[in-house]
Amino acid sequence: MHILDSLNRGGAEMLALDVCRNARRNNLELTFVATGGGELEDDFRRSDVDFVRLRRRAPVDFALAARLREIMQERAVQFVHTHQAVECLHAYLAALGTKTARAMSFHLCAADAKNRLALRWLAPRMEANIAVSRDLLSCLKKESGFAKRARNFHVIYNGVDAGRLQSAGGDLRAELGLRDDELLLGMVGNFYAGARKDQLTVCRALPALLRCAPHVHFAFAGARAPTAPRMYDDCVSFCEREGISRHVHFLGPRADIPDVLRALDLFVFSSLQEGMPIAVIEAMMLGVPAVVSDIPPLLEVTGEGRHAAVFRTGDAGELTRLLLELVTDPQQRARLGEEAQRWAIDQFSIDAHIANLKDLYRSVVQSSIH
């Protein structure tokens, strides 16, 4: 059983959806439980797994835990897998006194004080904890203390279903009214609160780039967070002050990310903190040349930077220089995209991800029997 508390579009949600869509083909009998809704709910319902929709009515909902326990018993669930503290707590309560093993995936190192406290308590009580990259595991050990208290940590890379990346027929270039001789660069990522994505560094790199390459446009695909609207508003205001708004497009949340990525001549991912970014893997799988900031998770996902152009995190000047070099050299862009595509398909397929999950589930269940 996999549980998610929200079905809004994000990296963990897309990973879970890819697992659901490919579970049966990979001989994984899966029940998926949603304890909250979101824009991806219909996609999960159509994903060919046993889908159960519940509702969490309180931060700690004992009725929800009881219902989860019933589902586990009805379906003889051997393993329950969660992705956030709130889901993990309810799964822990539901499985108390049963033979159902529990796992939690960590997608980020940082957490607010409340979640950090909950995770420190929960992690040692899981039969398995999963970090989505080697760097994240290192961070969890050094900074958060989770992995020090819970020794049962494993690294399993995220996977992407290449079949999901087929075009739905959209044409972003036509939507934006771009000419054939204009280049489109872009970034996919929500405008989160706190030190996570760093779209503002990209905005700061654009004025100098556009002065040298006025045929370039840039598109940001991602939601404006209601809890931190300033992250988005600062980017929009900066572009307006610099007089580049005609070339910078804020698309908001998009359901057609594969079509967005296919429209790009360059994919840019500026971030301060990541686990294993799905958007970067998707871009590379589609053969879109990528430019990423030099935080360790992005180096890891790009083969220690061999399959992307890398700039110093937060350094808008260096980003400008890299982008200018690439927009003026189509052969270099093509070579970078081809190398990235081969790497991503080899390393991050959804089949490899599910195979690794099954190996972990099997080993934990077998060890609990013995």
Question: Encoding tokens for residue 260?
Answer: 């967005």
Taking only the tens place, the pLDDT of each residue in 240-252 is 999 999 999 999 9
Taking only the tens place, the pLDDT of each residue in 41-77 is 999 999 989 999 999 999 999 999 999 999 999 999 9
Question: Encoding tokens for residue 2?
Answer: 């996999």
% of the chain exceeding 70 in pLDDT? 96
Residue 285 has pLDDT above 80, yes or no: yes
- Using pLDDT thresholds of 50, 70 and 90, give the confidence band for residue 149: low
Residue 170, pLDDT score: 87
Euclidean distance between CA atoms 279 and 276, whole angstroms: 9
Euclidean distance between CA atoms 302 and 133, whole angstroms: 12
Residue 116, pLDDT score: 83
List, as one string, the DSSP characters of 212-269.
Answer: H-TTEEEEEE--B-TT-THHHHHHHHHHHHTT-GGGEEEEES-S-HHHHHHT-SEEEE
Alpha-carbon dihedral 84, 304, 155, 106, rounded to 10 degrees: -10
* pTM, rounded to two decimals: 0.80
- Using pLDDT thresholds of 50, 70 and 90, give the confidence band for residue 7: very high
Highest mean pLDDT pick, 116-125, 295-304, 307-316, 344-353:
307-316
Residue 150 has pLDDT above 70, yes or no: no
Residue 147, pLDDT score: 61
Q: Whose structure tokens read 């796992």?
A: 103
Average pLDDT over residues 221-236: 89
Domains of the chain and any CATH numbers: 2-159+350-369 (3.40.50.2000), 168-347 (3.40.50.2000)
Mean pLDDT lowest among 22-36, 184-198, 305-319: 184-198
Please provide the average confidence, as pLDDT, over all residues in the chain: 93
